[in-house]
C-alpha cells in the first residue's frame, strides 16, 4: 500500500513540475467554466445574482398608472344616469344611484 502512495505522490510531483509553466488562454478557461456541470445550489445562486435592467421611462409610466388607479375614486369611472329638470330659472339634477352605505 505504501508503494502505491509513494508512486502516486511521485507521479503527482512530476506532473506538477511539467505543468508549472503551462498557461491556458482566456478562451480555454472560459470554455472550461462554461461547460462545467453546475450543482443545483450554484444554479440557484447564479439565478439570484442576475442583474435586472428595468427601463426608466416605462417604469415611471407604470408606477404613475398604478397610483392613478388606486387614488381615483371608483365612482368617477362609473356611468351615472342623470336627468336635468328645468324649473323656471333653476335646474334640478336627478341622479339614479344604486349605492348602499353603512352608517
pTM of the model: 0.31
pLDDT in the model for residue 63:
93
Mean pLDDT score, 56-64: 93
**Range 30-37 contact pairs with CB under 8 angstroms and sequence separation of 24 or more:** none
Spatial contact of 68 and 74, defined as CB atoms under 8 Å apart: no
pLDDT in the model for residue 78:
62
pLDDT in the model for residue 16:
86
Would you give the end-to-end CA distance of the chain in angstroms? 92
Amino acid at each position: 500500500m505504501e508503494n502505491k502512495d509513494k508512486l502516486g505522490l511521485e507521479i503527482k510531483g512530476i506532473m506538477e513540475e511539467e505543468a508549472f509553466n503551462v498557461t491556458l488562454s482566456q478562451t480555454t478557461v472560459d470554455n472550461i467554466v462554461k461547460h462545467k456541470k453546475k450543482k443545483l445550489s450554484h444554479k440557484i445562486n447564479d439565478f439570484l445574482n442576475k442583474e435586472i435592467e428595468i427601463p426608466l421611462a416605462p417604469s415611471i409610466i407604470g408606477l404613475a398608472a398604478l397610483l392613478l388607479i388606486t387614488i381615483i375614486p371608483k365612482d368617477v369611472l362609473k356611468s351615472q344616469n342623470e336627468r336635468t329638470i328645468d324649473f323656471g330659472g333653476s335646474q334640478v339634477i336627478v341622479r339614479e344611484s344604486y349605492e348602499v352605505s353603512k352608517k
